[in-house]
A and B are shown apart, each in its own frame.
Chain A
């Protein structure tokens, strides 16, 4: 009887985890949750996101590599050469999931609902950042002296360095 009582009591004690109230889970001074935002729609005054640039933002080689990868990883399959097709256009000023480099990065790595596949674990980090810089060059968001200057083959598009800088607009998905 006594043993049974002890067992019962220990069961109650272990069940207390459910009732634990951790009023202070994080140590004092821990940062507030501030991940990559997909949207600029925010409660209260909109806050700027910390600016993270692609390491290849001003680098011609990195963007040229991004341009090559854009074809060989078959980004062109959906986005065409920036004009869009199955996927949305990348050479216009409309951004569904954000135009900031870290937003483009997470769009590639995490994928997005409505069709964008997740390339996380597939494309090494370095190459994702090269793609980010190239995608930014499609709407003139990189310095002109670094953007790709001409295609190796025939193209109907203007070279990226002649693309006028467009002011990104957050549109959200239609």
Chain B
């Protein structure tokens, strides 16, 4: 679960802090303009069209209008310059040695692949990213079905995931923490339940996590766990899900190899606890109507076995 409020005004990264600075600049400038306009309007109303014989001349009035117009132009150009400068600063490509992460948006979850030049070092997970603090991270973004948008407000602005093309964005995180992101482009019935969790941690913790993620799933040790794996491999689960190290190898649904190490299920919809997981597996359509996962119709014993096995997927 996130440790910080999901907000662009609680920035934790290089890009996000610039966006936050721009946001506050616009906020205070607009507030000042608003106050000035309201005060001027109030004064005009209060004074009224009095019968004062010494009304200011036409030239004086024109000077006032010209000054207000000039001030408006200067302020707008100033904001434009600030906006372009911010865009340039956050849009420039990463320096040397970026970590490359490929994110693919599906209805309604995120597939996350960590891309390394050596193919055997690559690995895939879903709906939860771990990222190192203080290192540039390059994101390659794709949509699998419809347009989605990748947005972790504490870290960066939005970038769309579009079917048939690859968008890139990059960011760098300053502060360790757990941040919540979500799809920011309406993408269908469960758009609201398409969240992701970003765990920002030190380089050492991140490398440890990477090494653990590259491992295949551990072999089952108890009879219940063996039965659970059997149900997964021979039942409906394996038709869509991957668990590396087993015969389940389909790529239509989230990779479950290290499922128990993730904090949420169903793309940030529910906390990852055995109770919620049992409810989810029995009837996903009750939790997330429209989700691509069908009711599996497992018997009680099979369900318990599957739960016992999935707890081992650390």
Contact = CB atoms under 8 A, between A and B. Distances in A.
Interface in A89-136: 121-127
Contacts of B252: 72
A123 B239 contact: yes
B295 A124 contact: yes
A123 B53 CA distance: 91
Contacts of A153: 163-164
B216 interface: no
Nearest to A154: B164
The residue in A121, A124, A152 that gathers the most chain B C-beta atoms within 10 A of its C-beta is A124
Contacts, number: 26
A117 to B, nearest CB: 12
A73 interface: yes
Interface residues of A, number: 11
Contacts of A122: 235-236, 238-239
B295 A73 contact: no
B297 interface: yes
A59 to B, nearest CB: 14
A55 B235 CA distance: 23
Given A124-B294, A126-B294, A152 B236 contact: no
B115 interface: no
Contacts of B235: 121-122
Given A72-B252, A73-B239, A121 B294 contact: no
A123 B239 CA distance: 8
Contacts of A72: 240, 250, 252
Contacts of B234: 121
Nearest to B145: A152
A47 B40 CA distance: 91
Given A121-B235, A124-B236, A152 B163 contact: yes
B297 A124 contact: yes
Nearest to B235: A121
B296 interface: yes
Given A72-B252, A152-B145, A123 B163 contact: no
Contacts of B294: 124, 126-127
Interface of A: 72-73, 121-127, 152-153
Interface of B: 145, 163-164, 234-236, 238-240, 250, 252, 294-297
Given A73-B239, A122-B239, A124-B297, 18 more contacts: A72-B240, A72-B252, A121-B234, A121-B236, A122-B235, A122-B236, A122-B238, A123-B236, A123-B239, A124-B236, A124-B294, A124-B295, A124-B296, A125-B297, A126-B295, A152-B145, A152-B163, A153-B164
16 contacts: A72-B240, A121-B234, A121-B235, A121-B236, A122-B235, A122-B238, A122-B239, A123-B236, A123-B239, A124-B295, A124-B296, A124-B297, A125-B297, A127-B294, A153-B163, A153-B164
